[in-house]
Amino acid sequence: MEQRSVESLLVEIQTTKQSMPSGDSPVRVVIVGHVDHGKSTFVGRLLWETGSLPTGKQEQIQTACQRRGVKFEWAFLMDAFQSERDQNITIDVAQTWLHTATREYVIIDAPGHREFLKNMVTGAASADAALLLIAANEGVREQTRQHGYLLSLLGVRQLVVLVNKMDLVGYDRAVFSHIESECSAFLKKAGIEPQVFIPIVAADGVNLAGPSGETPWYQGPSVVAAMDGFECLKAPSALPLRIPIQDVYRFDHRRILVGRVESGQVSVGDKLVFWPGGKEASVETIEAWSAPKKSGARTGETVGLTLKEQIFVERGQVATPEGMPPDVTHKFKARLFWLGKEPLVRNRSYKLKVTTQEVSCQVLSVDRVIDADSLGEVAGVRDSVGHNEVAEVTIHTRTPIAIDPYSENAATGRLVLADGTMLAGGGIAYKVLDAPSLKAGKGPAAERLTLQQRHHRFGHKSVVVWLAGEPAEISRIAQRLECILFARGMAVFLLDESNLTGVLTSMAPDLETLPPSRTSWNVAAAISETVLLLAQAGLVTLVAWPLPESVAASMRALAEQKNVGFLSVLLSSPGDTPAGDRVDSPEVAADQGSPSAYDLRLDIGEQAADAAALTEIVDKLTLGFQLPPPADYVI
């Protein structure tokens, strides 16, 4: 095998360093792959091959290796921690600088162990490109797949696959080709197309910096040549302007809004709209200290703006151009990876961060958990997303946020979730739900408010919940249900004997206002009207009153017509006579017993039975109507 001397490389490097255009940013390349497939060894050897090691470093590593009684270990260059060297495993991501003949790189060495996936994400999220290592003797493994899929979620699109340890399979081309086809098929499913597959032996430098005699059948580029084909990610300057406000300062009698231009550009005089809210103002100045006067700013710049009109703006709002607003919503679908030790659980509060916005949120539903191995769906209904799993979820926020679908704008379509004090997950918003169409016009029209707008405001659908059964019993359960739903942040109202009787009497004194157990058809119809009215106000309306099935059926039909949910529940205590028997009117008695009239039939009475019944109703509401997330928004 051809081994170039360190001295010959040094000469090459020194000439290249001077010719490097100083204005260009280094390309950031992350090294990923399954544990023990040779990532750190590869990085160490690549540093040496390209002459990027400082004087004495190799000798230092030699000493560290001798002390542990192991042969020279390239990985020690990156594995700086004692525990990493002792266990021969990378724990945390390391970054280093490297020069090839054409330019400078930042190399990000990510850990492959499943346990340290959070550190892999930390490193890979900022990369322009990736090298995926696969050990030839082991082939595609769990973390090969998981890292591949995460690269796609993290937005890393440039990828070269290195099939390492080719010496262990006798430089067998068939092994290489098999891995190539298996890996390509998998990556295609994940949405990434690798630029090339390269057979290497990292520890010996085979195919790292130049062609090798060991793999005559391989005609493609060396690793260094393939890396030189990578490009830095382009700033999204052609997209509409987005400046998430980071802070508001008052210095020297100026009120300055600061933030980073995440996309597009801004100029003095531009009219800006701030979302959520939709307030408008024009840019008076772009402030800078110890720099020439600025008339505009491009993507990536951190700007300080003063406004012509004095409007209230705060951190988290996003400045956009007129006519090109983001979506403002409570609800969206996200594809995310969860790194928390504790699972991400439905209906619990988490902190959501989108740009500089921070709001409480809950997962309304876990729509799909993706199996990293097959990229298929994990079977069964899930209520949570476990440690290191990837899933699609529906997120509901406590207050509205400004967001763009990731496909339209990566910077404003990304999110992270914090569990307690630590970041625990991240992902992309792939579909925005329930957003009034800001893009069509200038905010909501001045017409009659729609139910949709009310749903948006309250953060849930309106639903009628009809509780039938013994009046005193159902009232008791209904009051508790009202408290539970209210505590969950819902707009809820209970209609029962205590408030309905009075209303009915004053509204229509000629109605036969009998106690609930003696409801006539007319009274039932009046109650049904009242219930539907409240539901159209956007409320979750509970009604605890026995109603004839015909009335209930027409109430259900009307509710569904108006896009209001409907849930009927029959509650009975053990030893109760069937509910229908206690209704005096023969008409009512005749049709109330039909089982099809109820979505739920539950037993109550004992404390445990009551609790179980309430849980079932709440679950049914949450699942059936994607009702309310908001368990404990008070954090």
Partner 1 sequence: MTHLEKLEQQSIYIIREAFNKFEPLGLLWSVGKDSSALLWLVRKAFFGHVPFPVIHIDTSYKIPEMIEYRDRLMREWNLNLIVGQNQEVLARGETYPNGSASRVRCCSLLKTEALNQVIHQHRFSGLIVGIRRDEEGTRSKERYFSPRDKSSEWNFKNQPPEFWDQFNTDFAPGTHVRVHPLLHWTEVNVWEYIHHEKIPVVSLYFANKGRRYRSLGCAPCSATVASEAKTVPEIIDELRKTKQSERSTRAQDQESEDAFERLRQSGYM
Using CB under 8 A as the criterion, which residues of the chain lie in contact with partner 1 when the complex forms?
Answer: 10, 14, 17-18, 22-26, 53-57, 60, 63-64, 67, 78, 80-83, 91-97, 106, 118-119, 121-122, 125-126, 154, 235, 246-247, 249, 251-252, 256, 258, 260, 287-291, 298, 300-302, 304, 315, 339, 351, 353, 414, 416, 418, 420-424, 426
In the complex, minimum distance from the CB of residue 240 to partner 1, in angstroms, rounded to a whole number: 20
d(CA 167, CA 161): 17
Q: How far is the CB of 347 from partner 1 (least distance, A)?
A: 21
In whole angstroms, give the CA distance from residue 609 to residue 130: 57
Question: CA–CA separation, 538 vs 495, rounded Å?
Answer: 15
Give the separation between CA 303 and CA 257, rounded to whole angstroms. 8
Residue with tokens 């082991």: 138
Please state, in angstroms and rounded to a whole number, the distance separating the CA atoms of residues 429 and 334.
4
C-beta closer to partner 1: residue 55 or 310: 55
Contacts of residue 251, defined as CB under 8 A and 6 or more positions apart, other chains included, come to: none
CB of 393 to partner 1, least distance (A): 18
232 vs 590 by CB, closer to partner 1: 232
Q: Is 162 helix (H, G, I), strand (E, B) or coil?
A: strand
CB-based contacts of 542, cutoff 8 Å, min separation 6? 465, 467, 478, 481, 482, 492, 493, 494, 495, 496
Nearer to partner 1, 289 or 312 (CB): 289
Q: How far is the CB of 631 from partner 1 (least distance, A)?
A: 20
Residue linked to tokens 């470093």: 57
Cβ nearer to partner 1, comparing 5 with 18 = 18
* Single-letter residue type at 428: I
Smallest gap from Cβ 420 to partner 1, in A, equals 8
How many CB atoms neighbour CB 552 within 10 A?
23
* CB of 123 or CB of 325, closer to partner 1: 123
Q: How far is CA 167 from the centre of its chain?
A: 42
Q: What is the CA radius of gyration of the chain?
A: 32
Closer residue to partner 1 (CB): 56 or 69: 56
- Closest to 84 (Cα-Cα) out of 107, 61, 106: 61
**Nearer to partner 1 (CB atom), residue 8 or residue 18:** 18
Residues 370 and 626: their CA atoms lie apart, in Å, by: 21
DSSP 301-326: -EEEEEESS-----TT-EEEETT---
CA distance 190 to 150: 9
Give least dist CB 89 to partner 1, A. Answer: 11
3-state secondary structure 454-501: HHHHHCCCCEEEEEEECHHHHHHHHHHHHHHHHHCCCCEEEECHHHHH
Q: Name the minimum Å distance from CB 423 to partner 1.
A: 5
Distance of closest approach, residue 390 Cβ to partner 1, in angstroms: 14
What is the rounded CA–CA span in Å between residue 606 and residue 218?
A: 76
Question: For partner 1, which is the closer residue by CB, 339 or 364?
Answer: 339
**Residue 106 or residue 590: which is nearer to partner 1 going by CB?**
106
Which single residue is written with the structure tokens 């059936």? 624
Q: Which is nearer to partner 1, 119 or 592 (CB)?
A: 119
In angstroms, what is the minimal distance from the CB of 230 to partner 1? Answer: 16
Q: How far is the CB of 117 from partner 1 (least distance, A)?
A: 9
Of 97 and 217, which CB lies nearer to partner 1 in the complex structure?
A: 97
**Is the CB of 122 or the CB of 536 nearer to partner 1?**
122
Identify whether the C-beta of residue 357 lies closer than 8 Å to the C-beta of residue 395: no
Residues contacting 67, CB < 8 A, separation 6+: none
Q: In this structure, how many other beta carbons lie within 10 angstroms of the beta carbon of residue 234?
A: 9
Residue closer to partner 1, measured from CB, 265 or 479: 265
Min. distance of Cβ 214 from partner 1 in angstroms? 30
C-alpha–C-alpha distance, residues 287 and 236, integer Å: 23
Smallest gap from residue 12 Cβ to partner 1 (A): 13
Cβ proximity to partner 1: between 14 and 407 the closer is 14
Instruction: Kindly state the smallest distance separating residue 40's Cβ from partner 1, in Å.
Output: 12
How far apart, in Å, are the Cα atoms of 55 and each of 47, 52, 385, 611?
Answer: 12, 10, 48, 72
Each as own residue / partner, the long-range contacts of residues 199-202 (CB below 8 Å, 24 or more positions apart, any chain) are: 199/136, 199/163, 199/166, 199/171, 200/42, 200/162, 200/163, 200/164, 200/166, 201/164, 201/165, 201/166, 201/167, 202/38, 202/41, 202/42, 202/45, 202/46, 202/74, 202/133, 202/162, 202/164, 202/165
Reference 487, options 383, 328, 349; nearest CA is 349
Nearer to partner 1, 104 or 473 (CB): 104
Q: Between residues 419 and 496, which has the closer beta carbon with respect to partner 1? A: 419
* Pairing outcome for strands 492-495 and 463-469: unpaired
CB of 208 to partner 1, least distance (A): 20
How is 231-267 classified by DSSP, letter by letter? Answer: -PPPP-TTSPPBEEEEEEEEETTEEEEEEE--BS-EE
Q: Report the nearest approach of partner 1 to the CB of residue 51 (Å).
A: 8
Distance CA 550, CA 542 (A): 19
Q: State the nearest-atom distance from the C-beta of 298 to partner 1, in Å.
A: 7
